[in-house]
Each structure stands twice: as C-alpha cells, then as structure tokens.
Amino acid sequence: MMLDRPDQGGEVPARGDARTKLTMGPVLFNWDPKVWRDFYYTIADQADVDSVCLGEVVCSKRAPLFAPHIPAVIERLRAAGKEVVLSSLALIMAPREMDQMRELAATDEFLIEANDISVAALLEGRDHGIGPFVNVYNEGTLGFLAARGARRICLPTELPAGAINALQKFSAELDTELEIMVFGRLPLAISARCYHARSAGLHKDNCQFVCGQDSDGLVVDTLDGDPFLAINGPQTLSASYLSLAAEIQALQAMGIRRFRLSPHSMDMVKVADVFRALTTGTIDGEEAGTRIAEISGSVATCNGHFHAASGCRSLCL
C-alpha cells in the first residue's frame, strides 16, 4: 500500500490523559469508495474516539478501490486529533500481497497493526500493534509478541472474562496495552476461498466485487430460517452484533482501558457516544444495551463468549 504523506501542519499532539480510549476498527466490508471516505470524514469530525484503524484487512483486491482517498482521510483524522493506525491483511496468500505487507511494514510514520503473524515478524524491533485476527490466547504468546515490540494487542473476540483477566494481569508487567472489541459482528474465520463469489456462481478471480452488494455482509440462515452467520468475501462473521455494553464496567475493573468498535453501515457516531458514556459512568450497562439495540435495529446482539458460553447467546451479568 503506497501512502502519500499528508500535510503535517494540522496534526494534534498525542493525548496524554489516562482516560479510557475508544478505537474505531478498520472497515471490514467492501463499501463504495466515496462511502468509505465519507464514513471516515464523519468519524473524524463527529465521533468521540481516540484511534482510528485504516486499511484493507479482508481482501487485497479491494485495496486499490479506496487507496486514492487514504491521504485525505488521514489528514482529516489527524486534524481532528485522532491517532491513525494502519491495519494489515489478515490472510496473505500470494507474493504480491506479501510485497504489499513489506511496503506497509516499512512505513514508520504510523502505528502498524499486524493481523497476520508474518506481518508481526516484519515489524519486530519497533513499536507496533497486534489485531484480533492473531491468536493471543495465553501469557506465553502475549509475552513473545510484547518482547518483539507489540505495544498494543487487540485480543481475539472469543476469549471469556477469566482469560481476559489473566492476560490483563500479565500485561500489567509488560509495556503492552490490551484492547477488547466490544461492538460489531464477530470475525470468526477467513479463508482462501471467496464465499461471496461462490454464492453468486462466480470464481474468486472473477468475483466482480459482488461483496459490495452487502454493506454489512451477506447473512446466512439455518435450514429453519434463523440468522446464523454472515459472509464478507472470504470472511465469515457472526450474524448478530457483539455488544459488551453490559460488561464494560467489569472490563474496566480488570484494568482494561481500551475498547474497539467495528464499523457497520449504521450510525457509528451514536454507537461511539454510547460507549463513551459507558466508560465515563454517565449511563449504566442496561441503558447502554437498550440504546445499542435501538441503533442495531432488527439485528440481535450477543455476548456469549465473555461468559464462557456459545458466542451467539445474549446473557446477563
């Protein structure tokens, strides 16, 4: 990914306060390039978030579509005081893609988030982030990555509260900050095959970007007609939206100070406002859950993994 460096004149110094931080994760879906650009403009101007992730995570074929807008988006985000993080692909399958990741890793102006362990290897020795697509399940893996420069790690979404607590206690001994995804469709798997293309009777090499027809993924129902999964190109996600609104207080009590929101085609500014109000104690988990359900519309929410249950379940504390 080639990046033209935007004007640095309007950059705001990094925030030094100790408040809970919110991150807007990378857009996982194939949005129209202008919609993608305008989304980030809105986040820059209106959303109370601290960090924003940019970059194609799911399918390298999409990257050239929005690449022309990246410099302007970066400039807008920085002018608004947001930290810009560049996210890598989650699955690298071709030499061309590996060359793109080497180019990304050579960019020293931004924090780079590795979503594939090979990208983490390219970043060894410099400060970087680890995305939720890398399996950080135990202290050994956390320590290994931290020793090689990982300063921020977004944990996988399937970890229960006990595991998160154990990893947070261990990370307190390291110079590494943990982040938890608290909203959005759960990223479950990614494959070399493109399910979206197959569903339209097409091959991956001639997919015609059919994934762009489903702004939040294509929902897959069970034989009984119940929403089960969602597909997004080669990616599989949950049909329901993860919402840890009711669990924010428990996560803060563990010492977690950074939370991630995954973008969808809804009012993400309102979503960010709800979670900001939660982290500051302005509203409680019950009220936040009600607001998130209203914003999500007909899509159900879930929090099962946090409670060591099936991820699709919605459980109370």
**pLDDT-based confidence at residue 230 (cuts at 50, 70, 90):** very high
* Separation between Cα atoms, residue 38 and residue 207, nearest integer Å: 25
Least confident of 130-134, 209-213, 264-268, 309-313: 309-313
Region 240-257: mean pLDDT is 95
DSSP state at residue 213: G
Region 269-274: mean pLDDT is 98
DSSP H/E element including 75 = helix 70-79
Region 167-171: mean pLDDT is 96
* Separation between Cα atoms, residue 239 and residue 298, nearest integer Å: 11
Least confident of 11-20, 61-70, 94-103, 249-258: 11-20
Q: Is the pLDDT of residue 14 over 50?
A: no
* Separation between Cα atoms, residue 240 and residue 250, nearest integer Å: 22
- 192-214 confidence digits (pLDDT tens): 999 898 888 888 888 889 999 99
* Separation between Cα atoms, residue 281 and residue 139, nearest integer Å: 31
* Separation between Cα atoms, residue 15 and residue 92, nearest integer Å: 34
Q: Say if residues 154 and 260 touch (Cβ distance below 8 Å).
A: yes
Q: Is the pLDDT of residue 69 over 90?
A: yes
Say which amino acid occupies 35.
Answer: V
Residue 18 has what pLDDT?
Answer: 57
What are the two backbone dihedrals, phi and then psi, of residue 111, each rounded to the nearest 5 degrees?
Answer: -75, 130
Higher pLDDT, 64 or 14: 64
Region 54-69: mean pLDDT is 96
DSSP state at residue 148: T
β partners of residue 87: 113
* Separation between Cα atoms, residue 290 and residue 270, nearest integer Å: 13
Question: Domains of the chain (ranges plus CATH)?
Answer: 21-186+242-286 (3.20.20.70)
- CB-facing half-sphere around the CA of 147: CA atoms within 13 A: 7
- 22-48 confidence digits (pLDDT tens): 999 999 999 999 999 999 999 999 999
**Do strands 218-221 and 227-232 pair parallel, antiparallel, or not at all (unpaired)?**
antiparallel
β partners of residue 178: 153
Q: Is the pLDDT of residue 185 over 70?
A: yes
Q: How many residues does the chain have?
A: 317
Q: Is the pLDDT of residue 166 over 90?
A: yes
On average, the pLDDT of the chain sits at: 92
Residue with tokens 């509260």: 161
Least confident of 15-19, 110-114, 258-262, 276-280: 15-19
- 89-128 confidence digits (pLDDT tens): 999 999 999 999 999 999 999 999 999 999 999 999 999 9
In this structure, what is the dihedral angle of CA atoms 78, 82, 85, 86, given to the nearest 10 degrees? -40
User: How far is CA 108 from each of CA 3, 86, 102, 144, rounded to the nearest angstrom?
Assistant: 11, 11, 12, 22
pTM of the complete model: 0.91
Two structure tokens written together for 35: 């919609």
DSSP H/E element including 14 = none
